[in-house]
Amino acid sequence: MAVRTMLNNFQGKPTDTPFIEKNGWLGDANVGLDMFNFNFNLNQLLTKFVGDMNDGQLENGDVPVMVPRADNWNSGAVDVAVWNTLFINCPTSLWNIYGNKTLLTEQYDKMRALALKQIADSKSHGWTWYDDQYADWVSPMGSVGSDYKERPPEGAAICGTAYVYKAL
């Protein structure tokens, strides 16, 4: 069932749903990266997807939470570690699994820019990621507030911090 679900979500890029919006949310791909690579040879698809992230990266190092963007919903990048660390984690995964070093060498400076921004952001919060982000936003124990921000009881900072440390 998991393999069928993954196949349904590959629409030229990893998506979060095969029937609603078909946007390339980076968080879904980041969380499922190991599972994707275990079940499929995604070297070419993920190489192209990292290229989309590269095209969307802003001068300050941020990468949008979804690429490519089909509309103006996400016109600016949002610094959300669980989402945009895919820009670092994916090339590393492609190197570890397929021996593909191309993205690491070609995009090192841009990956470094994101990493340095995340180091600075983490340092300004006591070396943890800040709590007001998507992160584990669909936690089964989360509560839904009036602004529809689902949060786990322990907060979102734990998940965000873990992804920043993994990327570094």
pTM of the model: 0.84
- The pLDDT of residue 115: 92
Over the chain, what is the mean pLDDT?
80
Output the CA angle 112-114-117, nearest 5 degrees. 105
Report phi then psi at 2, rounded to 5.
-65, -40
What's the DSSP call for residue 132?
S
- The pLDDT of residue 6: 77
Least confident of 87-91, 105-109, 125-129, 156-160: 156-160
Token couple for 44: 């070419």
The percent of residues in the chain predicted with pLDDT above 90, rounded, is 27
**Contacting residues for 106 by C-beta, under 8 A, at least 6 apart:** none
Strand partners, 25: 66
* In contact, 99 and 55? CB cutoff 8 Å: no
What's the DSSP call for residue 1?
-
pLDDT digits (tens, 9 = 90+) for 64-76: 888 876 655 555 5
- The pLDDT of residue 24: 79
